[in-house]
């Protein structure tokens, strides 16, 4: 494996979040979302309570988050299977969000948004053609500075 999965997750800021659609049962719903890493090493998303994803997560909290370099099939990509839940660290995550996103103050001022944290259950890394691995989330240390 040539790709360090922790570094890969840490150096990106956007990913495709997929949830189970309520409006189209049986189908996944995916869209691009910003994410950050919490001080405890969890992936967190900042999404509106009115968002399709929020409604979907409330009904079924099993999600997938796909991180990729480009749309090229030879480029590395990683998919995190996880359970999503409302973060208990809303204020602390606001500070981290400000550090990572230029438009943070404008976004953080919007009403009805909250941070959702992901508890990883499995990670699939595709480092390139033939370089494919399932990774154990407990072996990934995403804490800042590691």
Which pairing describes strands 113-128 and 43-48: parallel, antiparallel, or unpaired? antiparallel
Kindly report the CATH number assigned to the domain that includes residue 72: 2.30.110.10
Domain extent, residue 98, equals 5-138
How many domains would you assign to the chain? 1
Structure tokens at 92: 């602390």
Residue 101, CA distances (Å) to 98, 105, 107, 125 in order: 6, 9, 9, 26
Structure tokens at 102: 């230029």
pLDDT digit string (tens) for the chain, length 146 residues = 588 999 999 999 999 999 999 999 999 999 999 999 999 999 999 999 999 999 999 999 999 999 998 767 778 999 999 999 999 999 999 999 999 998 899 999 989 999 999 999 999 999 887 889 999 999 999 988 87
- Determine, yes or no, domain membership for 125: yes
CA–CA distance, 57 with 134 (Å, rounded to integer): 24
- Determine, yes or no, domain membership for 72: yes
- Determine, yes or no, domain membership for 92: yes
Largest Cα span, the chain: 45
CA–CA distance, 112 with 108 (Å, rounded to integer): 10
Q: What is the pTM of this model?
A: 0.93
Q: How far apart are the first and last CA of the chain?
A: 19
CA–CA distance, 139 with 78 (Å, rounded to integer): 15
Alpha helices (H) in 4-135, listed in sequence order: 5-11, 52-59, 90-100, 104-108
CA–CA distance, 66 with 12 (Å, rounded to integer): 11
């Amino acid at each position: 494996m040539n790709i360090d999965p922790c570094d890969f997750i840490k150096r990106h800021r956007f990913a495709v979040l997929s949830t189970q659609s309520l409006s189209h049962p049986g189908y996944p719903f995916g869209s691009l979302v910003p994410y950050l890493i919490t001080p405890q090493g969890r992936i967190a998303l900042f999404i509106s309570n009115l968002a399709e994803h929020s409604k979907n997560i409330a009904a079924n909290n099993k999600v997938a988050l796909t991180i990729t370099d480009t749309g090229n099939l030879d480029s590395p990509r990683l998919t995190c299977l996880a359970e999503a839940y409302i973060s208990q660290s809303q204020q602390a995550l606001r500070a981290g969000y400000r550090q990572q996103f230029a438009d943070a103050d404008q976004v953080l001022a919007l009403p009805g948004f909250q941070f959702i944290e992901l508890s990883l259950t499995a990670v699939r890394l595709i480092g390139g053609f033939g370089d494919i691995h399932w990774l154990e989330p407990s072996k990934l240390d995403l804490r800042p500075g590691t």
